[in-house]
Chains A and B, each alone.
Chain A
Amino acid sequence: MTNNVKIDVRHITRVEGHGNILVDLEKGELKECKLAIVEAPRFFEAMLRGRHYSEAALISCRICGICSVGHQMASLSASEDAFGIKISRQEQLLRTLLNVGEFYESHVLHVYFLAVPDFAGAKSVFPLVKTHKDVVVRALELKRLGHHIGDLIAGRLIHSVSTNVKAMSKIPTDDILHDIINQLESAKEKLKADVKTLNTLGAPEFERETEYISLYKEGEYALLWGDIYSSDTGIADKHDYLKMTNEYLVDHSTAKRAKHNRSSYMVGALARFNNSHKWLSPDAKQVAEDLGLKAPCYNSYMLTHAQFVELVHLADEGIAAAKELLGMNRQLEDRSFEVKACQGVGAVEVPRGILYHDYTYNDKGYMEKANCIIPTAQNLSSVEDDFRALIPMVKDKSKEEIQLALEMMVRAYDPCISCSAHILDVEFTDK
């Protein structure tokens, strides 16, 4: 293998959609390194304009099937911030449960269906049905648990039905809450059984310290409420999110890019783990230790392990929320409030990182302006910077090994699922 490598990848699907990878290595020197996003733009900011506040979450959740609940949470939070609505404890707990469902579906899909086949030397989960049936069955059950919780709490998980500004339009019965508790207890046991599986698979060696940005709340593993936190510059108010994201366009990408204190920053499970690890549940901390995941962790490949740890934490959080709801006099809440011309920001953690929605409403409650900043877009420059750090480490390896290292790096970021399934068709040219 010479040191001349040219990689031209067409259609990584859904890193916020379709994307390409271009890497050009000449005599061991990196000439070009791009993660290009070529998805057809969908113009959600335009679609939201002129719509009533009661439709904002219904429309914006359709940005993404896998982050649907996350978009709803950001959307509701932006509207509530704008109208000055404080949600009740009951509503907080219901959203926490729905969010647990979201993370289960998304993280399980990434860890088990997209990452594990790589480690196991397979090209999809389907052949693993024969060779690792027990793991596949556990994975399907864990993923379905996400959908199941979504069904029970909000009518369905993807583009859920019962979420509204101020309060949900559905209240779970005792039986439903007991069912969720039992299933989450059993999910923890299943996850513990797979700590060994994950350890056997390991993670490639890699280190690049960077800026980690996540939601932050003292005393909580912050997911649905809090301030913004940067590992470089500390706490910032969510209303100052534009100072954190500084979006810009590049020629090779229809997804906007973001930067803050450096050329790029990282969001997602590893950023959350690095910033908020001390507030993980005791069992989640134990699983992190068993997986060899220690904060701060600078190995982007360990993002998958951080997601796994979060699954354990979220089971505990979901169980606690369901138990608290069981002890409450649950009832449908009044959803009326005073409509006024206003502006507000929602900042929440979705599986892939911090997500911002920013809405401006007129005095009739119709949207005048919307801005949504997606975690995958925030991570794109970080992936490129990781490529730049990774390529010198692997440039003398075989074609197949370089390809796999790059593929696994993009997959580790879990950019948006289908991209992770088929990232790279690598074309090598020996000059």
Chain B
Amino acid sequence: MPLALRRLLADRAALLGLAIIAVMLVLAFAAPYLVPFPEDAFDAKPWQRLEPPSAEHWFGTDGLGRDVFSRTLMGTRVALMIALLVVLGAMLIGIPLGLSAGYFGGWTGDGIMRLTDVFQAVPQLVLALAFAAVMRPSIGSAMAALTLTYWPFFCRIVYGETRRVRSGLFIDALEAQGAGTPRILFLHILPNVAPAIIVRATIGMGVTILVAATLGFLGMGAAPPTPEWGLMVAESRKDLPEGWWQSAFPGLAIFLAVLGFNLFGDALRDVADPRLRRSR
């Protein structure tokens, strides 16, 4: 077993994070078959409004009589889908830009890096809100807004790593042998940059789940009756303090999901970049 993998598996925090992620993935795929009341994810049942947690409704029912447990579970699908697509989209934009900026340098590099400066001149949420507001509020526009504001994080990291790798002798050798630029970029530099990208993507999943839920909470994301965690917390506010379970459980779900990715991402970073290793 490679040393890196062995170190990862010896880290209790990493294992906990990995376990949470694995459970979430299973839940996301199996949710429609697992939830006790599949129709409750969407349909109102006014005769059972605001019932507290019980053997029948583990997490109680919400202001429209829907089973909170079913909705929270279905929310896993929504959250994971948003985060996966956003992170993938951000990678598709950020990685090529970062590679070119780092490899070509000069005007191209400066131009690209100044563009990332502009996108990072304000916190991500501020810009994402502005992007989301321009489009009609929906899950799609929230995802677009998050993608358009997250790519600079990948671009930055790939840029830095590419610069480091580019100074290696093997790149000079490749150039001398007449290897094409795309070949050098994607077959020789990219694999060397991959560990940093994987770390960033894992942490990015957590960040995106959190920011996407925030957009949902602020009414700039998923529209009712989608079982989206942020939106669920927002909808629950009118039934407080009686229906506390309605706010508590979706929030706990967000916490666990983000925690899973953060724990695992941190451990990955320790393994991928020994310079940054948490001292212990």
Q: Say whether A associates with B.
A: no
On A, residues with C-beta under 8 Å from B are none
